[in-house]
């Protein structure tokens, strides 16, 4: 149970300018990738979030020299002293992306023992496809109690994913970057952070081609050198801010984002009647009319992201008409809508489909965040609702959004923490 709750007094349009932090899902891939380097790396524009701090602890325990300045969003990592290959369960279960330590350590020293990952309870979340990729590259993999043990010299091969996996694609890239020979990843994920990881690996001297398409070709190299690298802005934070601006019928300019990463969301907002204008590295979102209901089906990039489905479906509870939301990636990502029924939302849920009947008003109520993006969705709900919304278990939100209360307050929102 968290020691605080979030209180939001809703009904105030968000107005003004804000900025996007560095990407969570790119940071959690790029930080472990430093283990592949033979020299010091400097990472910039890292989001100041809990998942990044957990990785600082894990790399430190492995023996790396890590200097992290959360305010400056900068981390200097010297991986040369790393001698260990074990990440115990107590550390691995603090976040989902700890499984990238498997690919990174296999790539570094041909051996890894990593406890099972934790992360949001949004479904079953197996990682059989990661294990299959490691085996294809030459590892023997054993699941022993709470840990996964993998060992073997990485040798380039054809890795075919029978279904797309973001994490599996990243792990295969990490394991293959220094493998002997060439690796081709077929049916690879195409998310922006896959491209960012490829760019980081290439900045260290790797040869990764085709990231952002469904075929990634990697020529294994013997050594990777140091690099100074700035991670890309967070696609999901950008989208969450866009949705919050639209949902409160506000007018917000979001700076420091990459508008081309947002096409799927932008198209849906335009369909709803929201005004979206794109600049080189900024997006302005304005609402001047009632929102039309729209249908959403989540898909891998460049489709509509599952991570934005939750804030988006929260907004649709007040659209004019019925919306159908189909969550195809994770089986348990509609729980925020059940919470929102207490706020007056009219929703029917059948398996992974939600039928949302738009209502003119939502009303503040106590609700509980069940995962990171559910928490973000409840923040959107609270910002829209009349009266006070209390969000319990808000620490989920801090895991993935940097200083969200400060950013929203600066746009006029009434949101603050209260100790329990
Ligand atoms: N899956 C398997 N076996 C595997 C791997 C995945 O069955 O070995 C299934 C999953 O259960 C899921 C689907 O395949 O149903 C897709 O999973 P994927 O591997 O693509 O997702 P992930 O790597 O676990 C990352 C992000 C998620 C994001 C998804 C989809 C990170 C650390 N996590 O998860 O981010 O929702 O891709 O885009 O990058 C979040 O940020 O809130 C979050 C959950």
Q: What is the CATH number of the domain that holds 372?
A: 3.65.10.10
Overall domain count for the chain: 2
Same domain, 258 and 398: yes
Q: What is the mean pLDDT of residues 232-246?
A: 98
Domain identity same for 201 and 289: no
User: What DSSP state is assigned to residue 388?
Assistant: E
Whether residue 135 sits in one domain with residue 123 = yes
User: Are 229 and 43 contacting, i.e. CB atoms less than 8 angstroms apart?
Assistant: yes
* 255 is a domain residue: yes
pLDDT averaged over every residue in the chain = 96
225 in a domain, yes or no? no
Clarify whether residues 244 and 203 are in a common domain.
no
Is it the case that residue 125 has pLDDT exceeding 90? no
Q: Is residue 228 part of a domain?
A: no
Domain-ending residue, one of 219, 244, 274: 219
Sheet holding 366-368, edge to edge: 366-368, 388-392, 4-9, 414-419
Task: Give the residue among 145, 205, 142, 133 at the shortest CA–CA distance from 173.
Answer: 133
Q: Is residue 40 part of a domain?
A: yes
pLDDT band for 126, please (50, 70, 90 cuts).
confident
Q: What is the pLDDT of residues 51-101, one digit of tens each?
A: 999 999 999 999 999 999 999 999 999 999 999 999 999 999 999 899 999
Quote the ligand 1 centre to 299 CA distance (angstroms): 11
Classify residue 198: in a domain, yes or no.
yes
Q: What is the pLDDT of residues 132-173, one digit of tens each?
A: 999 999 999 998 888 999 999 999 999 999 999 999 999 999
Does residue 196 share a domain with residue 308? no
Each residue of 88-112: b (16+ CB within 10 Å) or e?
ebebbbbbbbbbbbbbbbbbbebbb
Q: Which ligand 1 atom is at minimum distance from the Cα of 300?
A: 38
Burial class (CB in 10 A: 0-12, 13-18, 19+), 280: exposed
Distance CA 164, CA 184 (A): 15
Containing domain of residue 205, as a range?
24-219
How far does residue 51's CA lie from ligand 1's centre (Å)? 16
The answer to whether residue 61 is domain-embedded is yes
What average pLDDT does the segment 271-294 reach?
96
41 is catalytic: no
Q: Same structural domain for residues 295 and 395? A: yes
Domain boundary among 219, 254, 277: 219
**Intra-chain end-to-end CA distance of the chain, in Å:** 10
* Domain assignment present for 227: no
Let me know: does 38 contact 109? Beta carbons within 8 Å.
Answer: no
Cα dihedral sign, 236-237-242-243: positive
Measured in whole angstroms, how far is the alpha carbon of residue 241 from the centre of its chain? 14
Chain position carrying tokens 């033979």: 38
Q: Quick one: 202 and 258 in the same domain?
A: no
User: Are 207 and 279 within one domain?
Assistant: no
Answer yes or no: do 133 and 277 share one domain: no
Residue 418 near residue 63, CB atoms below 8 Å: no
Task: Compute the distance between CA of residue 172 and CA of residue 391 in angstroms, rounded to an integer.
Answer: 38
Domain membership flag for residue 41: yes
Distance 97 CA to ligand 1 centre (A): 10
**Domain limit, last residue, from 219, 251, 280:** 219
More confident residue, 55 or 122: 55
| 44 and 131 belong to one structural domain | yes
Q: Which of 407, 73, 19, 20 is nearest to 236 (CA)?
A: 20
Distance from the CA of 127 to the center of ligand 1, in angstroms?
A: 9
Ligand 1 pocket, mutate which of 118, 125, 129, 143 (most atoms under 8 A from CB): 125
Q: How far apart are CA 3 and CA 108, in angstroms?
A: 39
Same domain assignment for residues 184 and 257: no
Same domain, 155 and 167: yes
Pocket test for ligand 1, best of 307, 310, 397, 404 (most atoms within 8 A of CB): 307
């Amino acid at each position: 149970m968290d020691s605080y709750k979030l209180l939001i007094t809703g009904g105030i349009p968000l107005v003004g300018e804000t900025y996007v932090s560095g990407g969570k899902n790119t940071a959690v891939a790029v930080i472990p990738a430093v283990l592949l380097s033979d020299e010091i790396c400097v990472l910039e524009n890292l989001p100041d979030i809990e998942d990044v701090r957990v990785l600082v602890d894990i790399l430190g325990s492995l023996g790396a020299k890590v200097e992290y300045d959360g305010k400056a969003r900068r981390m200097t990592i010297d991986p040369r002293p790393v001698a260990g290959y074990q990440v115990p369960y107590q550390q691995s279960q603090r976040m989902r992306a700890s499984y990238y330590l498997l690919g990174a350590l296999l790539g570094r020293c041909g051996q890894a023992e990593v406890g099972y990952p934790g992360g949001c309870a949004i479904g079953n979340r197996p990682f059989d496809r990661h294990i299959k990729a490691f085996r294809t590259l030459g590892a023997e993999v054993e699941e022993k109690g709470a840990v996964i043990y993998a060992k073997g010299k990485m040798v380039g091969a054809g890795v075919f994913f029978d279904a797309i996996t973001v994490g599996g694609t990243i792990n295969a890239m990490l394991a293959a970057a220094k493998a002997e020979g060439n690796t081709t990843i077929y049916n690879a994920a195409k998310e922006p952070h896959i491209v960012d990881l490829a760019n980081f690996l290439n900045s260290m001297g790797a040869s990764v081609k085709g990231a952002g398409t469904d075929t990634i070709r990697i020529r294994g190299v013997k050594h990777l050198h140091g690099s100074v690298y700035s991670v890309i802005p967070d696609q999901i934070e950008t989208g969450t801010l866009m949705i919050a601006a639209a949902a409160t019928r506000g007018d917000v300019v979001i700076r420091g984002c990459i508008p081309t990463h947002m096409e799927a969301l932008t198209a849906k907002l335009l369909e709803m009647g929201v005004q979206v204008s794109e600049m080189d590295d900024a997006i302005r979102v304005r609402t001047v009319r009632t929102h039309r209901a729209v249908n959403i089906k989540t898909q891998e990039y460049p489709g509509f992201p599952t991570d934005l489905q939750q804030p988006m479906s929260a907004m649709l509870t007040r659209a004019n008409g019925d919306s159908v939301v189909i969550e195809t990636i994770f089986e348990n990502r509609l729980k925020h809508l059940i919470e929102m029924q207490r706020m007056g939302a009219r929703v029917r849920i059948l398996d992974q489909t939600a039928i949302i009947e738009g209502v003119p008003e939502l009303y503040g109520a106590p609700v509980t965040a069940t995962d990171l993006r559910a928490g973000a969705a409840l923040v959107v709900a609270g910002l829209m609702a009349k009266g006070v919304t209390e969000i319990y278990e808000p620490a989920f939100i801090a895991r993935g959004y940097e200083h969200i209360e400060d950013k929203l307050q600066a746009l006029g929102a009434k949101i603050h923490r209260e100790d329990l």
